[in-house]
Structure formats: C-alpha cells, structure tokens
Structure 1
Amino acid sequence: MQDSTTRPWAWAGNQHAVMWCVTFTHGITPEEVLARYGADTRAARLLTGQQAGHLNDSNLPQGSVLRAGSLGVWSFCFEDHGVMGAMSGPLSALSQGTETFSVLRGGDGMNGFAHWRDGRCTEQFEPGFTYTRPDPPHPWWDAVQERLDASNEEYPGLAPVLEAVAHHTGAVLDTGTLRGPLLTLRLEDSSRTPDPQPRPRPRTSQPPGRLLGRLLPPGTPSPPAVRRAPNSPTTPHTYDIEAES
C-alpha cells in the first residue's frame, strides 16, 4: 500500500484545499517557467511547501506564490491560492514553441482545464460539464471525460483530469514532490505576463458620403442653375449657364 505522501494525486483530493492551479510545460526549465509567468527568477529560492506557506501574506499586494519543478522533460508550476496559471497571458507565454496544460481548482467551485500550443489555446472547458464541451475535434475533452467516467464516482474531483494529462506527458506530480523543496517566489498580479490584446477587427470599406456644397451665409442668393444648352453636342460635361429669372 502506498504512503499518502507518495500516492499519485493525493494532494488533489484534499478537501481542505480552497483553490489551486498547476501547469505542465514541455521542454523548458523551471527557471524559464517562472520567467514566462513574468517573474524575476533572481528572487527564486528553494523552499518546501511549509516554508512557502509563509509567503502567502494578506498584508502584501495581490499576488501568487509560484513553485516550479521538473518531472523529466516536463516542468510544472503549482500555485496554492492562485490562478495565474489559468490566465491567457502566462499560458500564451508558457506554450510558445511548445505545449502547456493547465488544471484549475477554483475557489468559487468552478474548475478548469486548458491546453495551449504555440501561444494559442486549442481546448478549454470545465471538466465534467457537457455544456462547456468545445467544438470538435476535442481530443482532450474526450480523454478527460473517459477518465471521469471510469472513476465511477459521482464527484470524482480533479484527480482523473490530472491522470489524463499524465497519460500524455508521463509526468506525475505526487504529494511528496509537491511538499518538498521547489524553486519558489512570490509574483504580484501587476507583474505577471499580461493577457494578449484582442486583434482589431479589419475595417469594412464604406462608400463615400454625399458631397455637400459650401455653406452660404443667410440671405445669400442661390447660385445659377446649370442647364444643357439646346442642340449642344453630346460630349460629356458641355454645359451652358443661364441665370435664373
């Protein structure tokens, strides 16, 4: 029987955890992971989970404690009481030239899964809720749903979602690793990688409006009317000007 500290995903079933977020990114180092979140890696220190808990100070500006490590060719970043790893800015940066998975346990009861590749989101949904299923093809929705169905539990939590990610990555973040020393720092919200700006919509060409004549002061006589002279040739723009009586 496995010890509770090494059993895969035991931490994800902690009923006392209010909110957490974890990302998995292929082929970059933990230092680069933190940098892509927007952090200055010179501030990072190796801290255990217990030591990192002291960085969650309510008197400090709004921010998140990031804890990064490696699992083979994949690197992860875990936030306790943070959601930066579910935001488009960090995810876009993390996935540049590679791919990134994000799993969120939201403090408001809403959870999230996202897969990003080369700076773009390929799939995003709330696990277990059919109405959030993305347009096909949706291979990650299928993989996650298969694991949720196989759990045979009414409320299986997010462990099956993490198992679906691990089936693809081979990266299992167990409780012992998460409690041990990881590269840790605190990143303020104002310093994180900003979300990408929406692309401006192309302007639709419009026909020019009706040209208006020069405005005349009140009481100014109307200009003479333009009339075609009788028996004039049909060459365009040949006119005779007669004054109005």
Structure 2
Amino acid sequence: MTADMASQLHTWLHEFSDLGFCLTFSRGKNAEAVMRAYGMDPARARVLSLDDMMQVEPDEADGTVIRFGQNGSWGYSLEYIGIEGGRDPVLSRLSEGSETVVLGPTARGMTLFHHARDGVELSSFEPMAPHATQRGPGPHLLADLMQEVCDTWGDGDWGDGPEPGESLLRIVQDQLGELPGPEVLGAPALTAYLADADRLPRPPSPPPTYNPNNEGLGRRLGGGYLTD
C-alpha cells in the first residue's frame, strides 16, 4: 500500500467513527460468509449507503451497526463502535479455512491488531508498542515489522511521520496483499444491526499468565507482571 493510500484509509476510518470502529478482512470469504461468522442471517441485511446505514438501528439501540462487503479476495466487516470482530468466537469463525486481520479498539481506547488463521489467533499487539504487548503463539512477523517502525521514533513519538495505525496498514498490505480502500468501504454495502442479546456467547477467558519479561504492563507481582 502506498503512503497516500494508507493515509487515506487511516483518515477515512477515523472519520467513519471517532467513537471507535472494528474493521475485519478475511481472505477468500464473501459478505454473506462474514455475516454468518457473526451468527447473523444475510437475508435480514439491507444494502445501504454510508449515509443511510443507521436506518437499521432501532429507536432503543443496544448493539452495533455493521457493514459487510467483498473486494477481490477479501471479505470485510466494519462495525460502528462495536468490537465483536476482534473477539472469539467471531474471530475464530471468520478465520476458519481462511486468514483474518482485524483493526479495532481496546478497553483503554488504544488500537489493537489481530491476525488469525484457520480458527487460531496467531498474534495480537498494540501498534504503539508491538513487542511489549504482543500475544499469541506467533509467528509475529507483523509485530516485528511494526516494532522496526517504532524503533525509528524519537522519545517514543512518531513526530511528523505517519501515525502508528497508518504505518500498520502499509505493513499489512505489503505482507498480505491489497486490502479494500475508502472507495470500497464507503460504497453501498450489506448493512445489519447486531443487538447485544444476539451476540454469540463468548468462550471462558483463559487464566492470567505470568510474564517476567513484559515490563511496564499489568500489575507487578514479585518481580514479574500479571497480564490477562
């Protein structure tokens, strides 16, 4: 992805929702397959423009509006404020027989990146601190490449250079192939509302893990750090 294209997509995403978004790309899946990974029925979706997408939200909303589409070999979902695409079981279902990348928010308001393949989350990290925050069995190639970018920053700040999310989008496209841009994500697309009551049940959370090398994160316990 060229610098201009990455910048345009990064800017567009934050203009789409300054309250947060979750964007997923799944290789080899169409819009209907992506919807089913969320446990949603494609027959209940409507093709709506970006300006009209909130028409599917009920008056007493308790959920999220999601847009679905396909461009080339990638199927995508774009959640308005929601975060389901980056969480199991949706993430594992999206990546079954496929490869999925997700860009979305964390509980701390930061950006979190996920990379999953064949139902397994391989790597996740925060672009501003890839090695310090990476999780999963790996490989962590994308985290390594993002860390190389971070290492060029002075005083831990990107200064006049591209923001972390923009740099990450360039890395993802360079490694995984062309991703849909603003002209695709902004076009009329299948749109549906996912109520909180209809979300797929989440699997039990794994127990906290002790990581003595994860300095600066979590709650310090006896020389190491407790992370979840």
The aligned amino acid for 2:142 is W
SS in 1 for 2:122: strand
* Aligned-pair CA distance for 1:145: 3.0
AA at the equivalent of 1:78? L
Distance in 1 between residues matched to 2:40 and 2:138, nearest whole Å? 35
Q: What is the CA–CA distance in structure 1 between the aligned matches of 2:151 and 2:179, rounded to whole Å?
A: 21
In structure 2, runs of 5+ residues without a counterpart are 207-228
The verdict on how the C-alpha distance between 1:39 and 1:111 changes in structure 2, with shifts beyond 3 A counting, is: same
Q: Which AA in structure 1 matches 2:145?
A: A
Query: Partner residue of 1:222?
Result: none
Bigger drift between 158-167 and 128-137 goes to 128-137
Unaligned runs of 5+ residues in structure 1 are: 200-245
- Residue from 137, 141, 147 that aligns with 2:143: 141
Quote the residue 1:42 is aligned against: 43
2:53 aligned residue: 52
Does the CA contact (< 8 Å) of 1:34 and 1:66 recur in 2? no
Per-residue deviation at 1:171? Answer: 3.0
Where does residue 210 of structure 1 map in the other structure? Answer: none
User: 2:224 maps to which residue?
Assistant: none
Q: Which residue in 2 is equivalent to 1:161?
A: 168
- 2:18 is matched with 17
Pair 1:70–1:146, CA change in 2 (3 A)? farther
- Could you tell me the percent identity over the aligned residues? 30
What amino acid is the match of 1:22? L
Q: Which residue of 2 aligns with 1:185?
A: 192
- CA deviation map 1:129-183 (0-9, x unaligned): 2421347642120133345567983471412222222223323332222221011
2:92/2:116 contact within 8 Å kept: yes
Q: 1:198 to 1:118 in 2, by over 3 A?
A: farther
Q: Which has the larger radius of gyration?
A: 1
- Residue 33 of structure 1 is matched in structure 2 by 34
- Equivalence for 1:114: 114
Please identify which structure carries the higher strand content: 2
Residue equivalent to 1:77: 77
Secondary structure of the residue aligned to 2:127 is coil
SS in 1 for 2:194: strand
Q: Aligned with 1:88: secondary structure?
A: coil
Q: Secondary structure at the match of 1:49?
A: coil
The equivalent of 1:174 in structure 2 is 181
What TM-score, normalized to structure 2?
A: 0.74
Cα RMSD over matched residues? 3.0
CA distance in 1, matches of 2:92, 2:41: 18
Aligned equivalents of 1:169 and 1:136: distance in 2?
16
CA shift at 1:47, angstroms? Answer: 0.7
CA offsets per residue over residues 66-119 of structure 1, 9 Å max, x none?
111112111111112111111111001111111111111347422111111111
